Structure 1
């Protein structure tokens, strides 16, 4: 990938689990690999330090207030997780405490975090505004594998933080999905923009578009983008970013729904305008065969960009693409240093 990237402090989404440990009603840490058994963490050097500061301050507040940790299934306790989003550009922080129920001792915790917010705001920051801090409570009492429950309540501070990539500002709420490593995500966005110049790719189809990580920077520079995404929260977040950034009229066309269901409606009519390029950013298991077949046998764009979070799935999908497409490049990105997880950006060009 382009340029050196610091392998420490890169996780802008900081996450810890709370758990009981022996005689201690609450410790904060991570699950041991392959288990639901948590260990108490004294530090986490891959997290953004600003996020660690918030998390450990919250842990101490919970201990002082006597709030017990919940079991992994959400029973027999209150505190389950803390998630802190740190904005790379501004240093703004958004903390979300996930609990099984809203109990009275949490008022004392909120008071402690308000004092922390005042201390943070009073720190001198040369030439910039002091970072903002928001604190939210998420209610999650179900025994499932999801990090968040259905209801989130703002306790104080902003509703979202702002993260800017390629000139586009994204509005990140407590439970919204966004890239964990914003520095590497920025390199990947720049890479995709270079592969799709507006002169040769004025019309782009973005499949599995999420919050518009690639689609909105393309639309910002005047390209006409149709973006397909099934997650309604992601579509709403992208739409809010479009309004906030005042993107050009007609440059952004969202299609809410599963890609597999949407492709029949997206096939150009005879004589109609086709897309010059397609972006694919499918889930970890890769792209369904029906979608690959539609792109490379029916749609047949001159250029396709495949963004993958699973090299094995990427290799299998590339092997299934018709031979009249050439693999121009595949560039790996170390999105999660110190792990085996690699993301990649590949481009395919129609030979004829």
Structure 2
């Protein structure tokens, strides 16, 4: 039986020497790493060993014996326990430096590109209260309907009313809707028994428009007294322009079901991004930090060095936010997205913004890019904004064959960004990378990379 330098439930004193990419403190006992929440490099802590594995273990701080100069007081320990704000114990300056180093580390380790300039992370003037969307589970706690968030690695609901990183108006709206549901004796969902009804409350609010959408996700097709509930929601939340009932009857962790109906108003809200107006429906992907998204897109456009002669392909275009943001700077934009409904939204958004030099198509980016090239379309710029899993090797092969002069890669995962940059090989030179903090108080980091074709 293998032995380790520490044992489960043992209390130890340990020096914190580093942070994981998730923001956990790292200490070592005879070379064996322990990952410890709410600890920072430079601190000495008394810790309880919670779990011991083959390569590393986990611990919990019982007492801090020394404090890092980068430490700030916790706003609410529940935000750590649920993982909502895992970096809230760090100064914001330290968070930004941590995210810059994340990008530098993966460039060194994964893509072997230590010489690529990684610029200092761009943060927010006010790095709290930024999220324009909330998806809040509903469960029974202490015999009443409650809202909050799950404790990490569990489905135990921790009641929370101030989510810290969400628009405070949204936080208050969640409490208002929760109290209305209690008033009408709506039964909260019981995950273990698959009984009860109300599963989630989702709220979207326009950063500029202040239009609000309320989505009630239920297990069954009926909400008892829904007409009266709608009437009270509208009275108590005057910003609401859309109330949606979504039905999700399945035993699943997926939040939204396939069927929705409008209980009030329209099935979307509108908001602005870089001066353009977008329709945002309940299932639409829309960046949750509007202020930083504008900076992200502006950086992408600046990196691309756009001119009126440029033809641009926007792969993974979603509802068209990037394509429409840059359309007035270039000759034409071609947007491609695998989700048909997103392309329908993008086409509507182009129409309402009176933009006619864009073409949106639903389908596989690789296939459509090949078709466009065969039909004589020769893009000078390719913009990619893939999901966390990054680009596929076949997409990168197609992009290299298409040979745009510049590629702007917007990434939400530094590890897959580094992997993909390496796959572009000798065909493209990575000029610079700009980390941008779209998710303050969390370990997530967005980055914009500029690749230029090697002639």
Same fold (TM over 0.5): yes
Q: Deviations over 1:162-183 (max 9, x none)?
A: 1111221111122222111111
- 1:254 and 2:357 are equivalent in the alignment: no
- 3-state SS in 1 of match to 2:215: strand
Partners of 1:247 and 1:260 in 2: CA distance: 25
Partners of 1:72 and 1:49 in 2: CA distance: 28
Q: Deviations over 1:274-325 (max 9, x none)?
A: 11010111121111111111212x1111100001111000001111112242
1:273/1:97 Cα in 2 relative to 1: closer, same or farther (>3 Å)?
Answer: closer
Unaligned runs of 5+ in 1: 121-130
1:85 equivalent in structure 2:
204
CA contact (8 A) 1:94 1:134 kept: yes
Q: Deviations over 1:22-75 (max 9, x none)?
A: 433x11111111222211113211111111121110100111111111123782
Partners of 1:223 and 1:143 in 2: CA distance: 49
CA contact (8 A) 1:96 1:135 kept: yes
1:123 equivalent in structure 2:
none
1:109 equivalent in structure 2:
229
- After TM superposition, the structure 1 = structure 2 runs for residues 1-352 of structure 1, keeping only pairs within 5 Å, are 1-2=121-122, 4-24=124-144, 26-72=145-191, 75-101=194-220, 102-117=222-237, 120=238, 131-199=239-307, 202-248=310-356, 251-268=357-374, 272-296=376-400, 298-352=401-455
TM-superposed deviation, 1:10: 0.7
TM-superposed deviation, 1:266: 2.9
Partners of 1:104 and 1:83 in 2: CA distance: 19
Partners of 2:407 and 2:309 in 1: CA distance: 11
1:342/1:324 Cα in 2 relative to 1: closer, same or farther (>3 Å)?
Answer: same
2:38 equivalent in structure 1:
none
Unaligned runs of 5+ in 2: 1-120
Rg (Cα) greater in structure: 2
CA contact (8 A) 1:98 1:139 kept: yes
